[in-house]
Amino acid sequence: AVMQRNGLSLCMDSPVKSAAKRPLRRVLESDSDEEEAMLTARAEMEPIQDKSLERASSKQVSSAHPLFLTRNPHGASLGSCIPPSTNWSVTGCLSHPCDNGACCYLCWASLAGVLVQANCWETLRTTSAVGPVYWTWWLPIFLWLCDPSSFSKPVVPLDPMEYNPSKSSYHPVQDACWGHGQRVPYLAVARTFERIEEVSARLKNIETLSNLFRSVIALSPSDILPCIYLCLNRLGPAYKGLELGIGETILMKAVAQATGRQLDQIKAEAQEKGDLGLVAESSRSNQRTMFTPPKLSAAGVFSKLQEIARMTGSASMNKKIDIIKGLFVACRHSEARYITRSLGGKLRIGLAEQSVLSAIAHAVSLTPPGQGFPPEVLDAGQGKSAEARKAWLEEQTQILKQTFCELPSYDIIVPILLEHGVESLPQHCKITPGIPLKPMLAQPTKGIGEVLKRFEEAAFTCEYKYDGERAQIHILENGDVHIYSRNQEDNTSKYPDIISRIPKVKKGSVQSCILDAEAVAWDPEKRQIQPFQVLTTRKRKDVEAAEIKVQVCLYAFDILYLNGESLVKEPFSRRRQLLHESFVETEGEFLFATSMDTCSLDEISEFLDQSIKDSCEGLMVKTLEVDATYEIAKRSHKWLKLKKDYLEGVGDTLDLVVIGAYLGKGKRVGMYGGFLMACYDEESEEYQSICKGLACCAWLLGYWHTLPTGPGQGTPQAPLPHTG
């Protein structure tokens, strides 16, 4: 009964049939092919020369985890030898000196004040009154006397619906809902999303996500990359440009077809709930199928999403719908909610990429990969004080985040993490041409006085702030040139004219490099910069050089990598010098940013005015020597921007009217999520729409939704017209 309660079963062999000396053997078995493995405790007799106790090997129980019998006074584990006493006895039955060197096993326990002893096997075997009945009384008593909690039991996976990665004292193996070597169920990912969506505490959500990752690392390390991308709602690195291309209408159509509901019903419910994912979940839960489809795995869902993104051609949309329908039919519980949101492009669980990076660092640090199974170390932070553990995890997280800034590719970083761990990342992951970096950004300032106050003890320079598109130029050793946007999108096909100029403007000493620059619309006839709105009229992809109508000039202002050497730790003065030494200017095609090194208030003011006259937005102010490194992916106070719009008393104001509103979604369901703004044209006596007002939404929402709406209250009876 004790064994059954603890997940053990007892298999009893036949009684002793010969006088051969046979030691007791305990064989631990498990069937990895069965979904619910069972640990079998077998007592068997077999001929063997050695008289010592043996412990057979097991597929499921590692030798690193012996079965300790906690009530053994010698602290020995099963399979170890205990020197026999010269005169042992079982009161009233036996008295036999064990002088033949046979190993005996000793178990002590108090049962109603009676001391029970089991002598060596030689005594039991040679005593006719005891040997034949040994299996019927001694072994059950022996197992009952032993503490059942001391046995290493197999891990039976939980029901996925019971999976809770947010629980305290989470065990990466025992609390997982899948077994070793099995695919991670997508439902485990969905349950993790549920827990994160329920809680707004960032640190708790990081812990929850890291627990999922710890289980994946311990049980199914090959699935860690798909799980990471699913949490980020991405199909791969941003520069690969994989996009699903699924609109809301297509999603609604797929949900309707997969669940057997009318499209109009889906649309009405989506408008009411403000979340198509919830509609898909409720629709799927009410549906019954004749045959149960295969359960979804995280890797399988991720593969299907990638397949959808790669589909092209006239019939691709129908094929995409078929794949989506197949996913919906196989969904369980909340899976449909998050698959729908993933297809729509927004998970809406409040999980930022920085939190995902923290969770990855915590998981790899606490449950180191590459240990085999079962892992010996499940919590490497165990034994540390709370403060020491926190500091250690923060240090590990910072290493990963810095590495990701320099090499923002999970495809490269994750395999290295699994093989070498967090601390080895700086040695294996470095800035690489062809993989875009997240750019350094500047802090806005309200006036020149604030700039002088912040940089009062440091030398700085002022540069024109050009009104164009950020362009990160990568020159590879094989001569290839790639251009990436501020958001790491591949814009190489958008600027074939820039690509053709690079070989002309770089000097022969440049083998490989990464430039930070701005692509600006240029008027070759007037030889001046054009507004940003002109640049936006260019075709976005697959531009042919002969079709280009809007010319661009590239203004380079920084260099981050040169001939195999990273320059991000170098001061800006050094980087600027290398930039000017490595490239040559060509008017209207490739120029260095116009700059002036000064600390004079009057000179800065004049330079700001001149930048605006030259069709620029204002100035960028940068430190030259002190704290002048390039901070990847940060909005740093080392760079300040002075724009006309930011200066006090200089910005323009507009009087606008609300002419429409957009229905809120997600957390804003039942409210207006945005407003359509317009200005009045006195000549035509019409309101001309200008923009979708987002910055003022908080104020308008608070004002509009608190107004009294009853008759005679002096407020409109009808709601604002809904335009979307």
Query: Among candidates 349, 340, 342, which has minimal Cα distance to 199?
Result: 349
Q: What is the pLDDT of residue 697?
A: 54
* Count of other CB atoms within 10 angstroms of residue 521: 22
The letter for the amino acid at 388 is A
Is the pLDDT at 122 greater than 80? The verdict is: no
Determine the average pLDDT of the residues in 272-289. 82
Q: How confident is the model at residue 646 (pLDDT cuts 50, 70, 90)?
A: low
Q: What is the pLDDT of residue 366?
A: 95
- Catalytic residue numbers read 465
How far is it, in rounded angstroms, from Cα 105 to Cα 77? 10
Helix/strand/coil for 223: helix
Q: How confident is the model at residue 128 (pLDDT cuts 50, 70, 90)?
A: very low
Determine the average pLDDT of the residues in 93-103. 39
Number of residues in the chain: 724
pLDDT tens digits for range 35-52: 343 334 333 333 334 433
How far is it, in rounded angstroms, from Cα 63 to Cα 55? 9
Name the least confident of 200-204, 544-548, 682-686, 698-702: 698-702
Is the pLDDT at 618 greater than 50? The verdict is: yes
Name the least confident of 114-123, 525-534, 673-682: 114-123
Q: What is the pLDDT of residue 653?
A: 75
Are 562 and 539 in contact by the 8 Å Cβ rule? The answer is: no
Q: What is the pLDDT of residue 292?
A: 78
Q: What is the pLDDT of residue 583?
A: 97
Query: Among candidates 158, 207, 206, 166, which has minimal Cα distance to 185?
Result: 158
Q: What is the pLDDT of residue 146?
A: 53
- Dihedral in degrees, nearest 10, Cα atoms 96, 97, 103, 106: 60
Is the pLDDT at 158 greater than 90? The verdict is: no
Q: How confident is the model at residue 507 (pLDDT cuts 50, 70, 90)?
A: very high
Question: Pick the residue with more confidence: 424 or 38?
Answer: 424
Are 196 and 308 in contact by the 8 Å Cβ rule? The answer is: no
Q: Which residues contact 121 (CB under 8 A, 6 or more apart)?
A: 21, 22, 23, 24, 51, 102, 103, 104
Determine the average pLDDT of the residues in 453-462. 89
Structure tokens, 200: 């707004």
Q: What is the pLDDT of residue 655?
A: 84
Is the pLDDT at 67 greater than 50? The verdict is: no
Question: Pick the residue with more confidence: 196 or 59?
Answer: 196
For the chain, what is the largest distance between any 2 Cα atoms, rounded to a whole number of angstroms?
Answer: 120
Most confidently predicted of 66-75, 559-568, 598-607: 559-568
Supply the DSSP symbol for 100. Answer: S
Determine the average pLDDT of the residues in 71-83. 38
Judged on CB neighbours under 10 Å (0-12, 13-18, 19+), 353 is middle
How far is it, in rounded angstroms, from Cα 339 to Cα 356? 19
Determine the average pLDDT of the residues in 168-191. 94
Q: What is the pLDDT of residue 309?
A: 92
Name the least confident of 95-104, 241-250, 406-415, 571-580: 95-104
Handedness of CA 199, 201, 206, 211 (dihedral sign): negative
CATH code: domain 248-344 is: 1.10.3260.10
Q: What is the pLDDT of residue 45?
A: 37
Question: Pick the residue with more confidence: 512 or 717?
Answer: 512
Is the pLDDT at 713 greater than 70? The verdict is: no
Query: Among candidates 547, 555, 626, which has minimal Cα distance to 589?
Result: 555
Q: How confident is the model at residue 696 (pLDDT cuts 50, 70, 90)?
A: low
Q: What is the pLDDT of residue 59?
A: 36
Q: What is the pLDDT of residue 108?
A: 36
Q: Which residues contact 372 (CB under 8 A, 6 or more apart)?
A: 62
Q: What is the pLDDT of residue 599?
A: 86
Pick the CATH number of 172-233+350-430 from 3.40.605.10, 1.10.3260.10, 2.40.440.10, 3.30.160.270: 1.10.3260.10
Domain positions in the chain: 2-150, 172-233+350-430, 248-344, 441-646, 653-724
Helices (H), 159-234: 186-198, 202-219, 224-232
Q: What is the pLDDT of residue 652?
A: 67
How far is it, in rounded angstroms, from Cα 652 to Cα 650? 7
Q: What is the pLDDT of residue 27?
A: 36
Determine the average pLDDT of the residues in 433-440. 93
Pick the CATH number of 441-646 from 3.40.50.150, 3.30.470.30, 3.40.50.10490, 3.50.50.60: 3.30.470.30
Helices (H), 52-164: 121-126, 134-145
Helix/strand/coil for 338: helix
| Cα 580 from chain centre | 40
Determine the average pLDDT of the residues in 412-427. 93
Are 553 and 586 in contact by the 8 Å Cβ rule? The answer is: no
Beta bridge pairs of residue 678: 657, 689
Determine the average pLDDT of the residues in 351-378. 93
Determine the average pLDDT of the residues in 571-590. 96
Q: Which helix (H) or strand (E) holds 72?
A: none
Name the least confident of 33-42, 452-461, 540-549: 33-42
Q: How confident is the model at residue 682 (pLDDT cuts 50, 70, 90)?
A: confident
Is the pLDDT at 369 greater than 70? The verdict is: yes
Give the mean pLDDT of the chain: 78
Query: Among candidates 179, 171, 165, which has minimal Cα distance to 366?
Result: 171
Most confidently predicted of 502-516, 536-550, 646-660: 502-516
Q: What is the pLDDT of residue 704?
A: 58
% of the chain exceeding 70 in pLDDT: 71
Strand 481-484 to 565-566 pairing = unpaired
Is the pLDDT at 68 greater than 50? The verdict is: no
Q: What is the pLDDT of residue 423?
A: 92
Q: What is the pLDDT of residue 274?
A: 84
Query: Among candidates 306, 295, 291, which has minimal Cα distance to 225?
Result: 306
Structure tokens, 156: 């039976």
Determine the average pLDDT of the residues in 16-35. 39
Judged on CB neighbours under 10 Å (0-12, 13-18, 19+), 699 is exposed
Helices (H), 233-331: 248-259, 263-273, 276-285, 298-310, 316-329
Q: What is the pLDDT of residue 574?
A: 97
Say whether 248-344 and 172-233+350-430 share the same fold.
yes
Helix/strand/coil for 658: strand
Is the preceding peptide bond at 374 cis, omega within 30 degrees of 0? yes
Determine the average pLDDT of the residues in 299-324. 91
Are 659 and 678 in contact by the 8 Å Cβ rule? The answer is: yes
* Count of other CB atoms within 10 angstroms of residue 272: 12
CA distances from 696 to 158, 334, 572, 700 (A): 48, 34, 38, 6
